[in-house]
């Protein structure tokens, strides 16, 4: 499917049930870039990956069930030891390992348990991404994988994305984990540029519950095995495909948000500026009253008016307009026409259901 990447996903005992430890191995190394949470109380995994991302990357270790965050100083040392053990086992260096975690905050990772399972994790490496995509899930109800194949004159290029989401999702850099892999032969600087654009068009446009996780990480990795991306036309084609993969993952994350029953494509039209349009998107998608209306499928647009007024967007009644598709369906499009200018923004959001509270009260 995609050259240069091997995957593994096993059960290490962090979670009571199911796979909870995943590995991506790139035997010949990958050119990488990463985007991280803006939450200042970030996890040890985020802190270490931020340091390592500038290096060539040979492995990405991921655990679910525990955020590896806020567990005092030992947490940091233990995390470093874990990457070291993995590096030894793969005959690479610690500085070439990225790490990502997701789960409960403030509870120590069972490091010895995990370290014991590293040989098994490495033994199980194969080309199939299936078990890896399962091992990174928490309250997600399905694995999230997106794939695009591009045809160039000489070679093909593959882009494979794997993500997890569900809770603590807020449009301020990808509040989730995502791994976007490609075999495109591409300069690091160009990869970073294109990736940044793709993140802006996808993971930064979603809203689930307004909570920014301590662990969000999005990694872009290229094994450089495929077609070279250099010319303007190639760059454009590759960039579009990368955006496509990221958009698909981002939408899956919203659709599989905790307790979500309605997926909304929310379009803000006729704003004064793009900044104002974004602000309007955030105000509406984060209004718990608006989200409750969505759950019930009732057109209570007054809650949109109140949400906009709360963030200082004053509306003229004769110019303001809301249009929507059938609110009783699972996928909805809502257009909010502010009547204040010509700018536009669009993102994806969802309802809140009683299940969201139930899931998070256990």
The catalytic residues are 175
Our CB check for its own copies shows the closer of 111 and 301 to be 301
For residue 85, what is the enclosing H or E element? helix 72-90
* Close Cβ partners of 6 (under 8 Å, ≥ 6 residues apart): 24, 25, 26, 27, 125, 126, 127
Our CB check for its own copies shows the closer of 183 and 276 to be 276
**Candidates 94-102, 192-200, 233-241, 289-297 — which segment interacts with its own copies by CB under 8 A?**
289-297
Q: Least separation, in Å, of the C-beta of 286 and its own copies?
A: 8
Q: Least separation, in Å, of the C-beta of 283 and its own copies?
A: 10
Q: Is 306 in the site for its own copies (CB under 8 A)?
A: yes
CA distance 216 to 169: 9
Q: Least separation, in Å, of the C-beta of 186 and its own copies?
A: 33
For residue 29 the two structure tokens come to 């190394």
Site string for its own copies, 96-135 (x = CB under 8 A): --------xxxx----------------------------
CA distance 345 to 350: 16
Cβ distance 222 to 263 under 8 Å? no
CA distance 251 to 317: 32
For residue 268, what is the enclosing H or E element? strand 263-271
Nearest partner of 4 among 151, 162, 125, judged by Cα: 125
CA distance 131 to 230: 34
Site string for its own copies, 35-74 (x = CB under 8 A): ---xxxxx------------------------x-xxxxx-
Q: What angle do CA 109, 66, 98 make, to 5 degrees?
A: 80
Residue from the set 55, 89, 124, 300 that interacts with its own copies by CB under 8 A = 300
Nearest partner of 183 among 145, 150, 143, judged by Cα: 150
Residue from the set 143, 161, 167, 347 that interacts with its own copies by CB under 8 A = 167
Count of residues engaged in binding its own copies, rule: CB under 8 A:
60
Q: Least separation, in Å, of the C-beta of 174 and its own copies?
A: 14
Site string for its own copies, 169-188 (x = CB under 8 A): -x------------------
Residue from the set 298, 319, 325, 328 that interacts with its own copies by CB under 8 A = 298
CA distance 30 to 183: 9
Q: Is 303 in the site for its own copies (CB under 8 A)?
A: yes
| Residue ranges with strand state E in 152-193 | 156-164, 177-182
Q: Is 293 in the site for its own copies (CB under 8 A)?
A: yes
Burial of 165 (0-12, 13-18, 19+ CB in 10 A): buried
Binding to its own copies (CB under 8 A) within 338-357 occurs at: 352-357
Q: Is 360 in the site for its own copies (CB under 8 A)?
A: yes
Grouping H, G, I as helix, E, B as strand and the rest as coil, residue 35 is strand
Q: Is 308 in the site for its own copies (CB under 8 A)?
A: yes
Residues that bind its own copies (CB under 8 A): 38-42, 67, 69-73, 104-107, 167-168, 170, 209-214, 287-289, 292-293, 295-298, 300-303, 305-310, 312-315, 317-318, 352-362
């Amino acid at each position: 499917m995609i050259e240069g990447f091997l995957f593994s996903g096993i059960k290490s005992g962090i979670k009571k049930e199911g796979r909870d430890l995943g590995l991506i191995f790139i035997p010949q190394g990958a050119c990488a870039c990463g985007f991280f949470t803006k939450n200042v109380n970030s996890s040890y995994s985020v802190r270490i990956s931020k340091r390592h991302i500038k290096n060539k990357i040979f492995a990405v270790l991921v655990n679910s069930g525990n955020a590896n965050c806020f567990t005092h100083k030992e947490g940091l040392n233990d995390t470093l030891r874990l990457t070291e053990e993995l590096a030894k086992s793969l005959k690479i260096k610690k500085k070439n390992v990225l790490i990502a975690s997701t789960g409960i905050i403030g509870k120590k990772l069972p490091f010895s348990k995990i370290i014991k399972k590293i040989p098994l994790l490495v033994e199980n490496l194969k080309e199939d991404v299936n078990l890896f995509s399962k091992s990174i899930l928490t309250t997600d109800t399905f694995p999230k994988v997106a794939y695009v194949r591009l045809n160039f004159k000489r070679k093909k290029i593959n882009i494979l994305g794997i993500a997890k989401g569900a809770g603590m999702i807020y449009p301020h850099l990808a509040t989730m984990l995502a791994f976007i892999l490609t075999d495109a032969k591409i300069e690091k600087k160009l990869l970073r540029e294109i990736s940044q654009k793709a993140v802006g068009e996808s993971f930064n446009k979603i809203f689930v519950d307004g909570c920014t996780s301590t662990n969000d990480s999005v990694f872009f990795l290229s094994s450089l095995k495929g077609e070279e991306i250099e010319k303007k036309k190639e760059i454009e084609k590759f960039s579009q495909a990368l955006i496509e993969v990221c958009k698909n993952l981002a939408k899956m994350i919203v659709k599989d948000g905790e307790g979500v029953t309605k997926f909304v494509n929310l379009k803000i039209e006729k704003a004064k500026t793009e900044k104002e349009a974004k602000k309007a998107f955030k105000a509406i998608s984060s209004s718990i009253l608006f989200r409750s209306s969505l759950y019930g499928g009732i057109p209570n647009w007054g809650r949109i008016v109140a949400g906009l007024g709360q963030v200082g967007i004053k509306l003229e009644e004769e110019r303001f307009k809301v249009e929507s598709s059938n609110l009783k369906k699972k996928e909805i499009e809502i257009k909010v026409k502010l009547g204040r200018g010509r700018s536009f923004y669009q993102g994806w959001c969802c309802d809140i259901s009683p299940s969201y509270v139930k899931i998070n009260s256990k």
